[in-house]
Amino acid sequence: MAEMKFDQALSRLEKLVEEMEEEEVPLEESLKKYEEGVRLAALCLDRLNRAEKKIEILKKPAGAEPETEPFAGPGEGD
């Protein structure tokens, strides 16, 4: 499950939750589903937050390859 794709993980999580919301699931099985659900949610969250959060500005004039430096100008989010 570690390398499951994001969309797959999210869809599986949704299905799981729906199953649990249906009436007649035996307790033991619900527990298993719950644990899996928690693991899937953690995976999805990790994927979403894995993206880069750097703010950079290109050095001009640009050469063949991009050269950047951190941007600390006006308008930082926090």
Partner 1 sequence: MKEIRPVKEKVLTVSELTARIKKLLQARFFSIAVAGEVSNLRRPASGHIYFTLKDADSQIPAVCFREEARRLGVELKDGLEVTARGRITVYSPRGSYQLVVSEMEMRGAGSLQLALAKLKARLAAEGLFDPGRKKPLPPLPSRVGVVTSSSGAALRDILQVIGRRFGSIGVVINPVPVQGAAAAAEIVRAMEEFNRWKNVEVIIVGRGGGSAEDLQPFNEETVARAIAASEIPVISAVGHETDWTLADLAADLRAPTPSAAAELVIAEKRELLLRLERLERRLGLALNYLLGNLRGRVERALRSATLHDPRRLLWRSRQQLDELAGRLNRIPAVRIGFARQKLGDLNSRLRRRAATRLSFARQRAEALRLRLEAVNPEAVLGRGYSFTRRLSDGRIVTAASMLEIGETVRVRLKQGEFDSTVSRIFPAGGARRKKTEI
Q: Which residues bind partner 1 (CB under 8 A)?
A: 6, 10, 13-14, 16-17, 20-21, 25, 27-28, 30-31, 34-35, 37-39, 41, 44-45, 48, 51-58, 60, 62, 65-66, 68, 71, 73-78
Q: How far is the CB of 16 from partner 1 (least distance, A)?
A: 7
Q: Is 54 helix (H, G, I), strand (E, B) or coil?
A: coil
Q: How far is the CB of 3 from partner 1 (least distance, A)?
A: 17
DSSP 24-41: ---HHHHHHHHHHHHHHH
Residues 36 and 16 sit within 8 Å (Cβ to Cβ)? yes
